[in-house]
Structure 1
Amino acid sequence: MLERVQSGDTLVVVRIDRLARSLSHLLEVIERLEAKGAFFRSLQDPIDTASPQGKFTLQVLGAAAEFERALIRERTKAGLASARAKGRVGGNPGLRAKDPAALRKVRLARQDGYMERLNETAQDWVPHVRRLRPDMAWEDLLRIINGPLPPDRHWTQSRLLRAVKAYVRDGFLPAEVLGRAGRRETDDRLPAIVAAIKGADPEITLQAICDRLESMRERTPRGRASWQPSSVKMLLERAEKLGLL
């Protein structure tokens, strides 16, 4: 949902608890919205970041969240010190004893947390993987996925492969996407990449495709770094002849 928000938009929710799991999570969401130049409003809570009053409320919430974190840290330190003074060792007894049931619970909990994080980013990569694999090599697919994303959200090939394998394991993607990519003629590589960009956003302009290719550091057929709409148009026509569009 947050990925579709644009500058000037306002994300409206009925109540805060319909959006965020905790105060810190709410502040994280609002920070992401502000980075995009968007606003946040809760209908049943006094928060509207487009107004001075709403911004003040947000600052108060931020201070409260920091105070809450400080209290938790202090209580945790005090609890650990008290336990050590009484001769108790922290941690899970089952894990210390390497109990199989305890180890399995931890493994499943970590797996659930990993899948939850993947689901939050699925719209960034799943449509591309479903549409382009195994026809396109992982290296080219990765550049298409990372093209519109900010640098701090870029995927590495190993991370993407792990995510795809997890989705295949749980039945969210077909096993075929993990198949070996066939060799593609050198002349067909650029049309395939341009077709993939166009297929992901049919309304994208030729100039926007140029910008995307330059951000991916793709060279033109003549080896130049700067792309022109006419070159993209020729590649799209080539892609249509190859049946890629």
Structure 2
Amino acid sequence: MASIGYARVSTRDQILDGQLDQLRAGGCEKVFVEHASGVLAKRPALDDALAYLRGGDTLVVTKLDRLGRSVRNLKEVADGLELRGVGLKALSQGIDTTTPGGRLFFHMLAAIAEFEHDLIVERTQDGLAAARARGRVGGGRVKMTATKARQARAMYEEKTYTVQQIADTFGVSRGTIYRHLTHDTHPA
């Protein structure tokens, strides 16, 4: 029964020392370190840590947000650990799923976070529906009108202007110009 640590920082500039100190003080024999954003699907150090763990071991993190990309992902990881007989500890939050009280606390936190997420989604949908009822629609502002797109195409076809010069003329990015050049803006 080993305590295995997992530490993650989002960027190379962030410092791991605080997490590593806490994990070592928490009795971790081995620590897997990740330098990646939590939202990325690929986290090789986490995959390695999960593969390393055996029944009876405990995965230790300083905070739950170091482990999961979202509440749903965190719950999936915790459920997978539980099925394998592996515990989960979050040191700064006092969560320890190797105890009945710790499991209860973890599941309550996950349920509350999921409930909060659902409320945010519901309020967002209500706000969008109210805005649509008032005639407003979402999306970014139109950067190039049809007239400007035709002018940009004409400048491009003259072959005297670079795409960057055309973009600068209209105050848009080169990507915007390229998008309009690939769409047929000539009336049919």
Scaled to the shorter chain, the TM-score interval is: 0.3 to 0.5
Q: TM-score, normalised by structure 2?
A: 0.46
Q: TM-score, normalised by structure 1?
A: 0.36
Q: Which has the larger radius of gyration?
A: 2
Tell me which protein shows more strand as a share of its residues. Answer: 2
